[in-house]
Amino acid sequence: MQTQILETIEQQFKTLQILNEDGEIVNEEKVPDLTDDQLKELMRRMVYTRIWDQRAISLNRQGRLGFYAPTAGQEASMLASHFAMEKEDWLLPSYRDIPQLVFHGVPLVKAFLYSRGHFEGGRYEGVNALMPQIIIAAQCTQTAGIALGLKKRGKKNVAFTYFGDGATSQGDFYEGLNFAGTYNVPAVFISQNNRFAISVPVEKQTAAKTLAQKAVAAGIHGIQVDGMDPLAVYVAAKEARERAINGEGPTLIETLTYRYGPHTMAGDDPTRYRTKELTDEWEKKDPLIRFRKYLERKNLWTQEDEEKTVEQAKDDIKKALKEADQTPKQKVTDLIQIMFEELPYNLREQLEEYRKKESK
């Protein structure tokens, strides 16, 4: 009986796929209504991000970037879902979700300053986003709050948040979903299931067969999508957004994806816990390959487009890096002054102390 119930639940969360590994449409009725320009732009963003990831890894090795969590493999999951967002929507990323931040309007130089550890890297102007969240799943409860705020203000906007598979074991993940459901707020929770939380496979996070079904515990919509399929990810995010602004409440989206690189550049060696076969298998599912095939068949993407995007990315990275280098170094007095609107006595004293030090 119990087994039957579990199977019945799992069957409600079958993977949505639109584009197969060969770039063929396998689900005609779900094909999103995207213009040729939009399709090209989405491809451009994915290629751009792949190049950026390669450059970031190498810059990190050269010591020119600091903290960096690789993104290769997750381009569809990250960028096709973000593609469903409107400019005024709110974005609450995890530490890996820097590409979405940049395409939401945060300048690339800020991403690099964030990576290096400079306060300017978290100071955004005119972008509805929070800084990358390091405390896994804290962004989930904050998303419920932002979405409730949007609802109270009567705005037709949505709060989107991203986190990994490991995050779904956190209390804040469940609390965030549950609060969002209780208040019926416009929020979209995106769990990017890349199968590993550092070295721990998703099977060791939970006995649940899908992460999407965790939505059931909060009484909200849940959907599992092929996270290597840009069209499926886009459709899931777009539909979730529409439900949210129509007052139909939050959605949990699970994207089945994979990171080709290590967890972060801070000494993680994925060969300790992942087989080459597994990585090879996922590389065959590459979102860029299948989307490229799809667009080429539609005569929307050429070698020239590809090269132009690569050049653009390299160029932007070079410029942003230079800008980051030229950003004034941080001073303790800077750090003191961003603590409070009005400094308490201890910080007033310490401000004076460090002003003297810095003027020497």
User: How many other CB atoms are there within 10 angstroms of residue 268's CB atom?
Assistant: 15
Is 167 among the residues that bind another protein (CB under 8 A)? no
Is 83 among the residues that bind another protein (CB under 8 A)? no
User: In whole angstroms, how close is the CB of 266 to another protein at the nearest point?
Assistant: 19
- 116 catalytic, yes or no? no
Contact 178, 230 (CB under 8 A): no
Q: Which of 11, 153, 267, 272 is in the footprint of another protein by CB under 8 A?
A: 153
User: In whole angstroms, how close is the CB of 85 to another protein at the nearest point?
Assistant: 17
Contact window for another protein (CB under 8 A) among 12-20, 57-65, 79-87, 175-183 = 175-183
- 221 catalytic, yes or no? no
Size of the site for another protein (CB under 8 A): 42
CA-nearest of 173, 174, 189 to 250 is 189
Contact window for another protein (CB under 8 A) among 40-48, 276-284, 301-309, 337-345 = 337-345
Taking the C-alpha atoms of residue 216 and residue 220, their distance in angstroms, rounded to an integer, is 6
* Burial environment of residue 324 by CB neighbours within 10 A (0 to 12, 13 to 18, 19 or more): buried
Is 277 among the residues that bind another protein (CB under 8 A)? no
Closer of 273 and 354 to another protein (Cβ): 354
Taking the C-alpha atoms of residue 294 and residue 119, their distance in angstroms, rounded to an integer, is 41
Taking the C-alpha atoms of residue 106 and residue 112, their distance in angstroms, rounded to an integer, is 11
Is 182 among the residues that bind another protein (CB under 8 A)? yes
CA-nearest of 346, 200, 221, 335 to 273 is 200
Is 340 among the residues that bind another protein (CB under 8 A)? yes
Is 346 among the residues that bind another protein (CB under 8 A)? yes
User: In whole angstroms, how close is the CB of 238 to another protein at the nearest point?
Assistant: 23
Phi, psi of 189 (to 5 degrees): -105, 120
What distances in angstroms separate CA 33 from CA 20, 89, 135, 235, 244, one per listed residue? 18, 20, 36, 9, 19
Taking the C-alpha atoms of residue 118 and residue 130, their distance in angstroms, rounded to an integer, is 16
- 273 catalytic, yes or no? yes
Closer of 135 and 198 to another protein (Cβ): 135
Of the candidates 55, 104, 116, 259, the residue annotated as catalytic is 259
Closer of 203 and 341 to another protein (Cβ): 341
User: In whole angstroms, how close is the CB of 83 to another protein at the nearest point?
Assistant: 23
Closer of 129 and 253 to another protein (Cβ): 129
User: In whole angstroms, how close is the CB of 250 to another protein at the nearest point?
Assistant: 13
Taking the C-alpha atoms of residue 311 and residue 321, their distance in angstroms, rounded to an integer, is 15
Q: Kindly identify the residues of this chain, within the stretch 112-151, that bind another protein according to CB under 8 A.
A: 119-125, 130-131, 135, 138, 140-150
**Residues 6 or more apart whose Cβ sits within 8 Å of residue 357:** 332
User: Which uninterrupted H or E stretch holds 91?
Assistant: strand 90-92
Phi, psi of 235 (to 5 degrees): -60, -45
Q: Which residues are catalytic?
A: 259, 263, 273
Binding site for another protein (CB under 8 A): 90, 119-125, 130-131, 135, 138, 140-150, 152-153, 159, 171-172, 175-176, 178-179, 182, 335, 337-341, 344-346
